[in-house]
Amino acid sequence: MRYLVTGANRGIGLEFVKQLTSRGEEVIATARNVDDAKALKTLAGTHNNLTIISLDVSKDDSIDALSASVGEELDVLINNAGCYGHSGVFPDLDFDLLERDYRINAIGTLKVSAALLESLKKGKGKIIASVTSKMGSIGDNSSGGSYSYRMSKTGLNMASRSMAHDLSKHDISVFVLHPGWVQTDMGGSNALINTQTSVEGMLKTIDKATLDHSGRFWEWNGNEIQW
């Protein structure tokens, strides 16, 4: 199987690459700055099934060049690239930061999925799995705040739900994954699970995904989350 993982230079994205390459999958890993992706380069030195390419999901020209780098066939797209901005407390919000997060987490992911659609149509896996957050669940929001992150992840969730309907005619399964509270630079050292546990769980969902999984919101442990 041939996978593409965005935002793969650290944290959850890097762990996806580690686990997929270790089991023999062909992996294309993207990083905004390849020169700084030292861990990925080290991994590529010992795995000939790993290719690293540059991708900035906030820039159209970078996304436009993506399909040519990937080639004709792609089985699974894992949209992991994202950001978390502290946009302030209402009503004193940093609206420029809010727009940046929405551009990256929601619109950027949608553009990447569109750019790779033809390759996914020709692949065997036909899966678009996007890493979101439970903080993007409207039904689960019981504390407010975190406007930029919540709004951008809710936007990603809605985009994925719409793609699930639109791409069902091509037998492409589209869904979102909540990785849990993970020990990364974003999640912090007090988080509940490590990247290995989170990614192992998410890959179980990706590996067994069918059209029945499409248009749904899955937790890392396989439980379904309310929208």
Q: Where are the alpha helices (DSSP H) in 26-143?
A: 38-44, 60-64, 66-70, 95-102, 109-115, 117-122
* Mean pLDDT score across all residues of the chain: 94
The pLDDT of residue 191 is above 90: no
Q: How far is CA 210 from the centre of its chain?
A: 18
Answer for the pair 170, 127: CB distance below 8 angstroms, yes or no.
no
**Encoded amino acid at 42, one letter:** T
**Encoded amino acid at 214, one letter:** S
Report DSSP state, residue 98. Answer: H
Query: pLDDT of 140-175, one tens digit each?
Result: 899 999 999 999 999 999 999 999 999 999 999 999
pTM over 0.75: yes
Quickly name the fold that domain 2-219 has.
Rossmann fold (3.40.50)
Per-residue confidence at 86, pLDDT binned at 50, 70, 90? confident
The pLDDT of residue 187 is above 90: no
Query: Token digits for 69?
Result: 């780098």
Cβ neighbour number for residue 73 with a 10 Å cutoff: 14
pLDDT score at 147: 95
pLDDT score at 185: 61
Phi then psi dihedrals of residue 96, to 5 deg: -65, -40
Q: Which residue has the tokens 């919101």?
A: 217
Phi then psi dihedrals of residue 166, to 5 deg: -70, -30
Query: pLDDT of 54-83, one tens digit each?
Result: 999 999 999 999 999 998 999 999 999 999
Q: Which of 157, 119, 115, 122 is nearest to 136 (CA)?
A: 157
